[in-house]
Copies of this chain bind each other. A is one copy, B any other.
Amino acid sequence: MNTFGKMLKVTTFGESHGSGIGCVIDGMPSNIKVDTNFIQNEVNRRKGGLNLYSTQRKESDIVEILSGVFDGYTTGAPIGVFIKNNNAKSKDYENIKNIFRPSHADFTYFHKYDIRDYRGGGRSSARESIARVASGAFAKLLLNEFNIKVRSGIYSIGGIECKDIDFDNAINSEIYSLDKNIENIQKEAIQKAKRNHDSIGGVALISAFNVPVGLGEPLYYKLDSIIGDYMLGLNGVKAIEIGNGIESSKILGSQNNDEMCKNGFLSNNSGGILGGISNGDTINIKAYFKPTPSIFKPQKTISTHNEETILTLKGRHDPCIAIRGSIVAESMLALIIADMLLINASSNIKYLKKIYKNNKF
């Protein structure tokens, strides 16, 4: 259950304070040039410790490619990736060894498995998401061959929403904000939460451009259902919206329908997906992140022996997980689209005829 994807499959392993985080990327077509700088840069975008808005855990996050690449190209063999942990401070977690942190996975892991790697959350830590970003970078190498682009940014922090969406702004923003004019208000909300030993929620917008019509497999591997799957699996994501999904539940069909003309759709309320299949328009997704559960205020909780206690957490944590989470969500969307691109290759006899011409390769 640590694998996702159908044709482009990713398996991850590793814990927050173990030797590192790894993944195996399986199903990458052969003969794709592997730009290792690009992959490292993608992983660096997720990196914490760089400013006031993220954790102070400083990891070098060096991506090591263990297999599947030869002479700079993919070979069709599985790509092994490993990223060492080198700044884990397990001592910070001694005090929660037998105590469940509220709204963390501690309680459920303990009851499911009867054993819990409490150091930094173990397997349930968001540190694992580095494997998703590394895998997503490989997916992007594939998407680049077809000029498909996936981008992301912070849409809102603590309910403070961006008005103008500018993915270029997100790149340079310390909080990946999509709107230069709102960014500072959002930052101040984060700082205020931090000063109060608290954390804050946020929303990421993820978009994919130039996606061909036809990606997504009805009825049980639809593009939107897999988006729901991958995105709600991200740490802290508690809601996911395609296009104007939430608004659409409040309005009329005549307001929500996307009419068409010969040059395309006249609106994009659907978020680029109809019947679970991409319609050629931009894919728009919003991921709603809860506030970081790790806060530094005293909280009521219980121990593994069901004793009540008051817990005041220590450690290093992001005040707003949506920020770095947006990069992970972007990576996941790249992986979904890449997977769908591969799956779709056998959906129509006309494609197969292009490939197996004269019955010789």
Contacts and interface: CB of A to CB of B under 8 A. Distances in A.
Given A219-B233, A253-B200, A27 B1 contact: yes
Sorted from nearest, which 9 A-B pairs have the closest CB atoms? A105-B275, A228-B228, A238-B245, A239-B245, A225-B233, A228-B232, A159-B250, A199-B253, A229-B229
Interface in A199-256: 199-203, 210, 212-214, 216-222, 224-233, 237-246, 248-256
A79 B12 CA distance: 10
Interface stretch (A45-53, A54-62, A162-170, A349-357): A349-357
A77 B256 contact: no
Given A1-B221, A31-B350, A112 B238 contact: no
A238 to B, nearest CB: 3
Contacts of A24: 2, 11-13, 22, 24
22 contacts: A2-B77, A2-B218, A14-B66, A22-B22, A75-B117, A103-B270, A108-B276, A112-B213, A112-B347, A112-B348, A146-B356, A196-B254, A199-B253, A213-B360, A222-B232, A225-B231, A229-B229, A252-B291, A256-B290, A260-B302, A342-B346, A354-B355
Contact of A275 (B7, B108, B262): B108
A258 B103 contact: yes
A343 B26 CA distance: 13
Interface in A97-142: 100, 102-105, 107-109, 111-117, 122-124, 128, 142
Given A13-B66, A257-B295, A112 B344 contact: yes
A198 B232 contact: no
Q: Which residue, of A196, A230, A246, A271, has the highest number of chain B Cβ atoms within 10 A?
A: A246
B145 A349 contact: yes
Q: Which residue, of A18, A20, A108, A116, has the highest number of chain B Cβ atoms within 10 A?
A: A108
Contact of A346 (B71, B103, B345, B348): B345
A353 B355 CA distance: 10
Nearest to A18: B67
A250 B201 contact: yes
B260 A300 contact: yes
Given A67-B19, A70-B122, A158-B250, A238 B241 contact: yes
